[in-house]
Amino acid sequence: MRASRPVALAAAALLVGGAAGCGGGGSGEGGRTPPAGSGAPSGSPGASTAAPDAWIAARVAKMSVQEKVGQLFVPTFAGRADALAKIREYHVGGLIYFPQNFGSPARTAAQSNALQRASKIPLLLGVDEEQGLVSRTPFVTRFPGNMALGATRNPADARAAARVTGTELRAVGINLDYAPDADVNVNQHNPVIGLRSFGSDPALASTMVAGAVGGYQDAGVAATAKHFPGHGDTAVDSHTGLPVIKHAPGTWQRLDAPPFRAAIAAGVDVIMTAHIVVPKLDRSGDPSTLSKTVLTGLLRENLGYQGVITTDSLLMAGVREKYGDATVPVRAINAGADQLLMPPSLPRAYRAVVGAVRSGKITEKRLDESVTRILRLKQRRGLFQGTAADPAKAAAAVGTPAHRAAARQVAEHAVTLVGNKGGLLPLKGRKVAVSGPAADRLQAALRRHGVTTVPRGSADVTVLTTVNAGQATASRVRALGPKPVVVAALGRPYDLDAAGGAAAALATYSAGAVSVDALAGVLSGAVKPTGRLPVPAGGRPAGYGLGYR
């Protein structure tokens, strides 16, 4: 049996907490003295003053227009040579890692160090590591995604997961994560959010977002709440089109805004824009990324956010439908964005912004505001004190027993029992067949828990796993014949809407190994189910979940 939740959480907090915050110190190993001419005092900026960032205004005043504009850009890079060229030629403020940019933890740490050494101002080295569906880092400890965390309904789990992920990222020199997702998913046909959301309840999403923000920042990594003003009610993917969301201002305030308010209250470092049109918030027809009404009016003035605003990727179709690639970055800055993420052509976008500043289309005051926010973020995350990672220690910081235990705990807390006719579950003592995705792993895990697994023809019960099967779930249940069927949704829990013919139904919200193992624990009875639906599914409302007697 699993330890009680308070005891388990306390143990995980002790285990995980000791590894948090690596790489951010100023006087220990990896410390960095600000470069000459940076405008920052040597040692710890502002350590003996009441205003730790008072030096930033002087530093901005010394920068050229080209250097200031460069701070706004966070491009992709093909390899180390390409990154070094972008640092040298365009003075970029950061870079974003994708899978092809990673080697081993040690090699990644060494590369991050080389990039930082090449830059006069510390770089924001970021990655899109939400866990779950959006995971770019090949070696991090694998957690289920946000909807699984939402099913735990425990912000301590969200904080622990983010702390582990942040600790492992910081160990290889990455200091910014484009997470957590703060969208409230109220459309089960949403093709781009879904499991990336904590759920359909804005109050639940708010508490979990705040927990995740705290976890990343515990580890010394900047957190990013996304996608403002809210991408949870769309059936169009902004990577390939321009979604239109018809929420009225009152609906937005009640449904979409609360998680962003919670992120701001938690001190979130960055908020990412959405390439969506919300006509009742802004009549211009421009995507929110390019809307001054949304970014300056709603985010800055209505919600009071004073941190960094980053665009979502400027490669996405949703922001490129109406304007050209040289116009988009200029309009984004004038709308209120500070960082320009992944421009399709860095040279073209950079020249466009420099030209707009020189012509007065972007005022120097507006440019200085963004550069100041970016430098304050770098100061707040300790980058002027030190950015160096230790390649010799990087591998040991990744996938530790404590981190794997934290992932196992989250996965177990997430498993949600939605139906259990006649007390069919747990399955121990029955002959069980398994069919569907991850069947081999689930069978092996069940056997470890003492459950007898057999071919379907010899079974008393069949466990059918699904991953986003939708209405096909019903026919798959029927095809298994008259004996009892247990449906386990390893992807979106909406599969359970078509599982009415099953004797029992569960959701794990993830097909990852740690979630499949947790499912086996619940099916066998070794782990008691405690998860509750974060979205309506299986004919049950959000918040529903059964336990074992």
Q: What are the phi and psi torsion angles at 67 (to 5°)?
A: -65, -40
In the 3-class helix/strand/coil scheme, how is 150-214 assigned residue by residue? HHHCCHHHHHHHHHHHHHHHHHCCCCEECCCECCCCCCCCCCCCHHHCCCCCHHHHHHHHHHHHH
Name the residue among 148, 155, 154 with its Cα closest to residue 130.
Answer: 148
Q: Are 220 and 382 in contact (CB under 8 A)?
A: yes
CA gap 264, 15 in Å, rounded: 28
Q: What does the block give as tokens for 513?
A: 């190994």
Distance CA 335, CA 69 (A): 16
The secondary structure element, H or E, covering residue 394 is helix 391-394
Largest CA distance in the chain: 78
- Side chain identity at residue 101, one-letter code: N
d(CA 382, CA 371): 17
- Number of Cβ within 10 Å of residue 339's Cβ equals 27
| Alpha-carbon span 27 to 20, nearest angstrom | 17
Given the residues 82, 237, 239, 325, select the one marked as catalytic.
Answer: 239
Catalytic residue among 181, 269, 312, 338: 312
β-partners of residue 176 are 126, 222
Catalytic residue list contains 239: yes
Whether 495 is catalytic is no
Q: What is the DSSP letter of 423?
A: G
Residues paired with 506 in a beta bridge = 417, 488
Q: Which residues are catalytic?
A: 239, 312
